Structure 1
Amino acid sequence: MIKETGRVIALETDGLWVETIQRSACHSCALQKGCGQGVLARFAGKPAAIRVLPGDCDIRNLHPDDQVVIGIPEDVLVRGTLLIYLLPLVLLVAGAALAASVSSSDIMVACGAALGLFGGGLIARLHSMVNKNNSRVQPILLEQLSHS
């Protein structure tokens, strides 16, 4: 289980919204300011809000600004990462290869690659919409750390 600390920002009857405290590895990395990850983190500038299911915890004692620990299974994170990053890349290469086998035009190969990339992104988006309410892939509340 991968765990993350966050702050409750809203409560619902069947779950809660948690603002995660994003930690960057930039301070310990040898590249320091030469990496795009740190630049993107500074550019975004705001924490992410995540809808969390209560799991086995009682959310009736929670209030906004309470600190909590949320978790998600490792395999869900790995499969999601592969779906989001690897599938569009594989379909990009497959689209380019298929277009190259049909035509030797660079424009056609580029269009085939773009269609493959778009198709991979579309499949990932559809998967996300289908599994939106699947409790197996949603983060769950593990424990409450503090009251506000």
Structure 2
Amino acid sequence: MTAVIQEARVVAKKADRVWVQACIEQGCSSCHLSSSCGQGLLARWFSRPPPLLQLDAPNLVLEVGDRVELGVDASILNRAAWLQFALPLMTLLLASIFAEFLGVTSVFMQLVVAILGLAVGLLGARKFAGQATKPELLRKVTT
């Protein structure tokens, strides 16, 4: 298995469950050029706090504040990326083709049908994304 690994910090613990949040010290915020970089500027403007993930940790002794490594199978991540980008695009195109097939000649109505197709694709991608597997706790990071 090829895994994509991300560090996270334990923010809460209850029995064999932990809540982790991805470390934001990686990426643009850690780069020394982030103050003058366009990507860093966009990251500061549009950044949201990372979501909390609830995970099972029966084999690890963890405390709040510990750093852990999370792993996601790369093939699952690639499939999710394709789903998030390709499904809305395909439903938009199929809705447009369907409107053309039905003989819709108004540009406004074609646009409405295309936007409805896009909305259906986005909702479908969201539904399927909710069924994706959660990352696994790989190990505790020692510093």
- With normalisation by structure 1, the TM-score equals 0.76
For residue 17 of structure 1, report the CA deviation from its aligned partner: 1.5
Check conservation: 2:6, 2:22, Cα contact below 8 A: yes
Say whether residues 1:71 and 2:89 are aligned partners: no
For residue 50 of structure 1, report the CA deviation from its aligned partner: 3.6
* Structure 2, unpaired ranges of 5+: none
Provide the C-alpha distance between the structure 2 equivalents of 1:89 and 1:28, rounded to a whole number of angstroms: 37
For residue 42 of structure 1, report the CA deviation from its aligned partner: 0.7
State how 1:53-132 maps to structure 2 within 5 Å: 53-54=55-56, 58-59=59-60, 61-102=61-102, 103-129=104-130, 131=131
Provide the C-alpha distance between the structure 1 equivalents of 2:125 and 2:88, rounded to a whole number of angstroms: 8
Q: What's the counterpart of residue 9 of structure 1?
A: 11
Provide the C-alpha distance between the structure 2 equivalents of 1:72 and 1:52, rounded to a whole number of angstroms: 15
For residue 84 of structure 1, report the CA deviation from its aligned partner: 1.2
For residue 5 of structure 1, report the CA deviation from its aligned partner: 0.8
Provide the C-alpha distance between the structure 2 equivalents of 1:43 and 1:138, rounded to a whole number of angstroms: 28
For residue 66 of structure 1, report the CA deviation from its aligned partner: 0.4
- Once the two structures are superposed, residues 108-131 of structure 1 have per-residue CA deviations (whole angstroms, 9 ceiling, x without a partner) of 1101111111101111222234x2
For residue 52 of structure 1, report the CA deviation from its aligned partner: 4.8
Alpha-carbon RMSD across the aligned residues, in angstroms, is 2.7
- Secondary structure of the structure 2 residue equivalent to 1:53: strand
- With normalisation by structure 2, the TM-score equals 0.79
Q: What's the counterpart of residue 49 of structure 1?
A: 51
- Secondary structure of the structure 2 residue equivalent to 1:142: strand
Task: Choose which of 134, 138, 142 in structure 2 pairs with 1:142.
Answer: 138
Provide the C-alpha distance between the structure 2 equivalents of 1:122 and 1:76, rounded to a whole number of angstroms: 19
Provide the C-alpha distance between the structure 2 equivalents of 1:112 and 1:13, rounded to a whole number of angstroms: 50
More helix by share: 1
Check conservation: 2:28, 2:43, Cα contact below 8 A: no
How many residues in Structure 1 have an aligned counterpart in Structure 2?
136
Tell me the amino acid that sits aligned with residue 12 of structure 2: A
Percent of pairs with identical residues: 28
The verdict on how the C-alpha distance between 1:14 and 1:81 changes in structure 2, with shifts beyond 3 A counting, is farther
